[in-house]
Structure 1
Amino acid sequence: MTGLGDWGDRAGLAKIQDELLAGTLAAASASAFYQRYRDGVPGSRSELADYPLTSKADLRDAYPFGMLAVDRSRLATYHESSGSTGTPTASYYTAADWTDLIERYSRMHVGIRPSDTFLVRTPYALMLTGHVAHAAALANGATVVPADNRSLATPYAKVVKLLHDLNVTLTWSLPTDTLLWAAAAECAGLQPGRDFPELRALLVAGEPLSPARRNRIAGLWRAPVVQEYGASETGGLAGECPFGNLHLWADRAIFEVYDPATGRITPEGTGELVVTPLCREAMPLLRYHIGDRVEVTFPDCPCGWTLPVVRVLGRFDAGAGITQVGLEEVVFGLPAEYGVLFWRARHTTSGLLVQIEVPDRHRDAAIAALGSAIGTAYDIECLVEGVPLVSERVLTAMPEVMKPRSLFTADEDWDRALRYY
């Protein structure tokens, strides 16, 4: 484990943060976005406190290079978010920034070994996540299988084939992807917990993960599920210790908790996460308001790391005092024999509609159990057997990608001549 525990106690951790903060604030002073806010004692926490929260809207308004703090000739990579809500956010990294990204990713307690075959199943393209995992795996000597995500070249059936045929030992994906692979494996006549004996851990991030869903995934694959937490604009922010707690990398960032109801900002508690990365050259971020609902505590963890622990509760309120993670905990708390892998919910005029996929023989029991757990503010619907949330076609389709071509034989379909699919 790289350097973990070197800071000693909580006071030692704060000292490391203060030492790094001076350089972070100096770097931010070169950014046009932050120059207008400089005040307070230079290089100190009082100066940091004078900066307002940086929002995603600020990053969108600064697109693409308004947050840049170094000459563009020093940039190693440029990335963008998916832009699903409109204008994407941009992020960029120098070679030194990449050294930090790789080191933080490599901290996972199961380790990345030269003997590993590491399947990366998060997006590449302009997003950061696939590139970080790829670079960290190479840096640790592993063999990388760049399976990508949201790609026509690697549908779920292809991923299952790679997992099986290549004896993959580690995977990196969304938690939901691991359930989709399990369903696709079943369609292919394979058992997730039996036919992939080399798989030693499933590394996941990108979604809130309840303990119940985590246990369901681990039980299906008979392999530990190891969680990381981060953001496209920051890279990894937290990693899991051997005792299952998700520790914030507070030796590399200052974390705060913002209460949107009161405006109060504290070092711990329940609210929305605010982060100031401390080892960032190209794009310093001061008090970046990620927006994720979290609970931050400083427990005495058996692992010995004097790092705060974070519980990510999700960005959406399920209503009636239940968080997104709390609702998922109830769904995956149903007995495993019910076979629930997928669920969805949406707000309606009367409350919230929850849909699950469950065999007809367990329908009544599942509805009764969910209703008892979450109350009458929710409408619960079990889909009719044979009308799944995820169709078998999605789980069994194989790649149909082809390069653009101009010359075809007489029996080939030339209507696909200049298309990729």
Structure 2
Amino acid sequence: MNDVRSSLPQLGEWKGPQELRRLQEKQLPQTVAWAARSPFYRRRLNAAALPTTPADLATLPLTTKQDLRDNYPYGMLAVPKERLATYHESSGTAGSPTPSYYTQEDWTDLAERFARKWIGISGEDVFLVRTPYALLLTGHLAHAAARLRGATVVPGDNRSLAMPYARVARVMHDLGVTLTWSVPTECLIWAAAATAAGHRPGADFPALRALFVGGEPLTAARRRRISKLWGVPVIEEYGSTETGSLAGECRHGRMHLWADRALFEVYDPKTGTVRADGEGQLVVTPLFREAMPLLRYNLEDNVSVSYGDCECGWDLPTVQVFGRSAFGHRVGAATITQHRLEELVFSLPDSYAVVFWRAKAEPALLRVEFEVDEEHRAHAQARLAASVRAEFGVDSEVVGLAPGTLVPHDALTAMPDVVKPRSLFGPDEDWGKALLYY
């Protein structure tokens, strides 16, 4: 294990931005030296004059997702293969693999960062991990952090035939799950599945302490709705498969960048300029990543970064994450983003019980559909149409649908058979399932 990794910075070890900056500057030369070992950065860096300060680092070009794809599988590797602990690929839809790999020492840093939850993780917790394990980092990250703190892990996975929503609701109820990790949408579906099973989400899960969420932009209105449904705090996490956890919430609801473990910049793609704060795309240089160092890696996530005091005392910058600009669609003269539209949907009165919705942006019209009981349908349609007009200035077709239309009841209650593949069947068995898992 590298000596640097045995003394990872811990929350509370610095006071103010100057001490934080000194922590970053102390580690940066080692980070760059690690990077210079990889084929990609060996070509990019001048070994005779490696950057040693943040100002020097700022002269390097940004590292892009395409760089990672172009150097698949091992062009970014900076350690011997035998030192690798895990290999991952991101969930991007570009068609080309985006590789990422970590040593066991890298995993110490990864797990510690994720475990920085203000509500705490301990040996008394039963932690349901409900994000994918296959190739992505996310499920393994929560699993490792929970085990680091001694919690019992329930490896629920996601998009798995072995863990339908009915089973999630049963496990949460019967095992006394105290903490969960998922995308925010999952929490809404669990509530519907629990209700379908005859449980009251806010009353019949007394062990539940908090819902950890990430992987999707989360508006304040949707957070409130989820929290009210379950009666517990919703605590947001931000990161990526390429970097691990980059930010987490303090007890005052502000998302703080882990600037003791990484350098952050804000890039304006329109002007090509980079700043320490403001709005733009987040650029990150992980400081304790040895297997696959990344220098000035552009996540392409739209964010707003600010510096200032917070009552939590962490002395870390704060970040708001808005997602990718590509997720916006034009309707007339307006750009419709999921973040802004979601805020309108979940700002409808709680009594309407609107949870599931979808929208389609057409050149001259925004179509919105959502599930709502008939008694509230007319008022909900009129109210949301007025909100869309006020927010975006566009025409809309807003349609309320009967509950169960967008998310069928069967999806919440089904328990499909998941079997091992086999070739020999009895006379009354369906051998059409030979070699299948379901």
1:98-130: CA deviations, max 9, x gaps? 000011011111111101111110001211111
Aligned to 1:366: 380
Name the CA distance, whole Å, in 2 between partners of 1:140 and 1:93. Answer: 20
1:396 is aligned, of 413, 429, 432, to 413
Name the CA distance, whole Å, in 2 between partners of 1:96 and 1:387. Answer: 47
Q: Is the 8 A contact 1:152 1:399 kept in 2?
A: yes
1:41-61: CA deviations, max 9, x gaps? 632223311221111111111
Query: Per the alignment, in what secondary structure is the counterpart of residue 247 of structure 1?
Result: strand
Alignment of 1:171-186 (within 5 A): 171-186=180-195
Aligned to 1:348: 362
Give, in angstroms, the shift of residue 378 of structure 1: 4.7
TM-score, reference length from structure 1: 0.96
**Aligned length, in residue pairs:** 420
Give, in angstroms, the shift of residue 336 of structure 1: 0.5
Give, in angstroms, the shift of residue 299 of structure 1: 2.7
Name the CA distance, whole Å, in 1 between partners of 2:429 and 2:318. Answer: 58
Give, in angstroms, the shift of residue 373 of structure 1: 2.5
1:77 is aligned, of 83, 86, 89, to 86
1:39-88: CA deviations, max 9, x gaps? 56632223311221111111111111111111111101111123522012
Aligned to 2:5: none
Give, in angstroms, the shift of residue 345 of structure 1: 2.4
1:121 is aligned, of 97, 109, 130, to 130
2:347 is aligned, of 328, 333, 337, to 333
Name the CA distance, whole Å, in 1 between partners of 2:335 and 2:433. Answer: 52
Give, in angstroms, the shift of residue 399 of structure 1: 3.2
Which 10-residue stretch deviates more, 356-365 or 181-190? 356-365
Query: Per the alignment, in what secondary structure is the counterpart of residue 262 of structure 1?
Result: coil
Q: Is the 8 A contact 2:32 2:50 kept in 1?
A: no
Give, in angstroms, the shift of residue 138 of structure 1: 1.2
Name the CA distance, whole Å, in 2 between partners of 1:113 and 1:104. Answer: 15
Give, in angstroms, the shift of residue 401 of structure 1: 0.9
TM-score, reference length from structure 2: 0.92
Over the residues paired in the alignment, what is the CA RMSD in angstroms?
1.6
Query: Per the alignment, in what secondary structure is the counterpart of residue 376 of structure 2?
Result: helix
Name the CA distance, whole Å, in 2 between partners of 1:71 and 1:183. Answer: 48
Which 10-residue stretch deviates more, 5-14 or 337-346? 337-346
Q: Is the 8 A contact 1:272 1:294 kept in 2?
A: yes
Give, in angstroms, the shift of residue 397 of structure 1: 1.1
Give, in angstroms, the shift of residue 291 of structure 1: 1.1
Alignment of 1:250-329 (within 5 A): 250-315=259-324, 316-317=327-328, 320=334, 323-329=337-343
Name the CA distance, whole Å, in 2 between partners of 1:322 and 1:5. Answer: 41
Aligned to 2:45: 38
Q: Is the 8 A contact 2:381 2:400 kept in 1?
A: no
Give, in angstroms, the shift of residue 342 of structure 1: 1.7
Name the CA distance, whole Å, in 2 between partners of 1:195 and 1:211. Answer: 25
Q: Is the 8 A contact 1:314 1:323 kept in 2?
A: no
Q: Which amino acid aligns with 2:17?
A: R
Q: Is the 8 A contact 2:388 2:396 kept in 1?
A: no
Q: Is the 8 A contact 1:318 1:327 kept in 2?
A: no
Aligned to 2:422: 405
Q: Is the 8 A contact 2:250 2:312 kept in 1?
A: yes
Aligned to 2:30: 23
Give, in angstroms, the shift of residue 411 of structure 1: 2.4
Residue 60 of structure 2 corresponds to residue 51 of structure 1: yes
Query: Per the alignment, in what secondary structure is the counterpart of residue 36 of structure 1?
Result: helix
Name the CA distance, whole Å, in 2 between partners of 1:150 and 1:204. Answer: 16
Give, in angstroms, the shift of residue 34 of structure 1: 1.4
Q: Is the 8 A contact 2:380 2:400 kept in 1?
A: no
Residue 434 of structure 2 corresponds to residue 417 of structure 1: yes
Name the CA distance, whole Å, in 2 between partners of 1:351 and 1:25. Answer: 50
Residue 175 of structure 2 corresponds to residue 158 of structure 1: no
- In structure 2, the gaps of 5 or more residues are 1-8
Which 10-residue stretch deviates more, 343-352 or 229-238? 343-352
Name the CA distance, whole Å, in 1 between partners of 2:266 and 2:258. Answer: 15
Q: Is the 8 A contact 2:156 2:163 kept in 1?
A: yes
Query: Per the alignment, in what secondary structure is the counterpart of residue 202 of structure 1?
Result: strand
Which 10-residue stretch deviates more, 123-132 or 74-83? 74-83
1:121-179: CA deviations, max 9, x gaps? 00012111111111111111111111100100001111001001111111111100000
1:10 is aligned, of 10, 17, 26, to 17
